[in-house]
Amino acid sequence: TMFNSEWNYIRIFCAILAGGILGFLVYNLYPAKVFMGDTGSLAIGGALASTAILTGTPMFLALAGIIYVAETLSVVIQVIYFKRTRKRIFLMAPLHHHYEHKGWNEIKVVTIFTIVTIFSSVLAFLLMR
C-alpha cells in the first residue's frame, strides 16, 4: 500500500508540492494579488495525476477532485447537448460560471466549491485506508 516506507520519495514530493501551493495561496486569497495561469494549473494537475498513478489511486484522485471532474463534465455535457438540441442545459459552462449567472458572487462560489473539495478529499483519504 502507499502507506509503506517505500513511498517516502512520493511523500516528500507531495510535501514540497503542497508547500509551494500554500505559498501561492497566500497571494491568491480574496482579493487576489496573483492569478495562476494554465502553466501552473496544468503542472499541478500533472503532478497530482502522476502521483495517483504511481500510488495506484487514480479513482481516489477523481473523488478528491470531484469539483474539477464536475467542471470538466459540465463543458462536455453542455457542448454535446447543444449540438443535438440547440438548447443549453447550463446558463454557461464550466459550472462555476453557471452559478455566477444565477446570481452567486465569486466568494460564494469559491467557498462552496472549497467546502465540497475538502469534504471529498477527506472522504477519499478515509476510503483509501
73-102 pLDDT tens trace: 999 999 999 999 999 999 999 999 999 999
**DSSP state string for 5-51:** GGGHHHHHHHHHHHHHHHHHHHHHSSSPS----HHHHHHHHHHHHHH
User: What is the CA 47 to chain-centroid distance, rounded?
Assistant: 13
pLDDT at 2 over 60: no
What's the DSSP call for residue 90? S
Going by C-alpha positions, the residue among 101, 1, 9 that lies closest to residue 55 is: 1
pLDDT at 1 over 60: no
pLDDT for 72? 95
CA angle 36, 67, 83 (to 5 degrees): 95
Domain residue extents for the chain? 1-56, 58-129
Mean pLDDT for the chain overall: 91
What mean pLDDT is predicted for residues 64-78? Answer: 95
* Pairwise pLDDT comparison (5 vs 97), residue with the higher score: 97
Confidence of residue 32 (pLDDT cuts 50, 70, 90): confident
pLDDT for 126? 92
